Amino acid sequence: MQIEENLHHDKKEVFLPGDLLSDETGFISGTNTYEEQGKIFSSTTGTINQTNKLIMIKPIKCSYQPQIGEIVIGQIVQIRDKKWIVNIGSSSEATLHLNSTYLPEQRQKTEDDEMNMRQIFAENDLICAEVHSVNNDKSVNLHTRGLKYGKIEDGLLIKVNHYLIVKQKRHFIKLNNNVNMILGHNGQIFLSNQDRTTNNQKVIYCQNYTVQQRVDIANTGKAIKFLQQNQYKISQISIEKVLNYISEKKPQNDWIILIEQFFLEQKTKQQQDQ
């Protein structure tokens, strides 16, 4: 396949994982591609992007498709009919019914609660919820029955491609640098000093941040963004792998150079393992 001779056409073509991009010498394997026996293949679904001899694949953006039990982070966009409409990045509407929320008193909801719904969640609030059910029309029902769910604030929100999020046993995580993370299946990640990992809590406290906590959260955010830019899967393991690498390289302080060096070493290792 001669990409240079038919570049305009190939840019519009959609490639699937494993599709051949080039079997000619001189081309360089870039982001979302891999080289095998002198040939370059796509490692994800997307369109081709070529700069000189560097061949890359730009992933196709697709909306998040919720599944029951997944943890999502979303924004309240509207309140109507005893429910909140929540933007979770899905093509279908997601709703949170008043009866599906958490009250510390463990009582039934009343008319007063309905009149005061904005005191629970207001428009533009960020919330963490679980997918309770998906209807036949693909609309989504959420719930926040549990203290670890609900309104989230005073932290760092990072948005990544949802398909990079690794499904794992826990999505409420305390990283090894003591940063608390909510790893949303829908590609939204929230970093803070608020611990939501224990089950015996009665209140989620919003504490003042120390200087070190702010530094750790900022560095964790940088690590996640670089994973996203390099199209690496995002999980507790991959994030901590980057953070540990940076920590071991101290006293060097140039994060950009260190992280680029990390991904260069990872790519070299992958090529050697092939």
pLDDT digits (tens, 9 = 90+) for 16-58: 777 888 888 888 888 888 888 888 888 777 888 888 888 888 8
CA distances from 123 to 126, 149, 151, 168, 179 (A): 9, 17, 11, 31, 27
Whether 3 shows a pLDDT value over 60: the answer reads no
Question: Model's pTM, two decimal places?
Answer: 0.74
For the chain, residues classed under CATH 2.40.50.140 are 63-151
Q: Contact 42/105 with Cβ under 8 angstroms? A: no
Which contacts (CB < 8 Å, 24+ apart) does range 258-267 have?
A: 259/222, 259/223, 259/226, 263/226, 263/230, 263/232, 266/232
Whether 8 shows a pLDDT value over 80: the answer reads no
CA angle 78, 166, 257 (to 5 degrees): 100
Q: How many CB atoms lie within 10 A of CB 85?
A: 17
Name the CATH code of domain 4-59 (choices 1.10.3720.10, 2.40.50.100, 3.60.21.10, 3.40.190.10). 2.40.50.100
Which residue in this structure is represented by tokens 């693909």? 138
For the chain, residues classed under CATH 2.40.50.100 are 4-59
pLDDT bin (cut points 50, 70, 90) of residue 107 is low
Q: Which pLDDT belongs to residue 108?
A: 73
Q: Contact 239/220 with Cβ under 8 angstroms? A: yes
pLDDT bin (cut points 50, 70, 90) of residue 73 is very high
Class of domain 63-151: mainly beta
Q: At what angle do helices 211-229 and 236-248 cross, to 10 degrees?
A: 110
Cβ-count burial of 25 within 10 angstroms (0-12 exposed, 13-18 middle, 19+ buried)? exposed
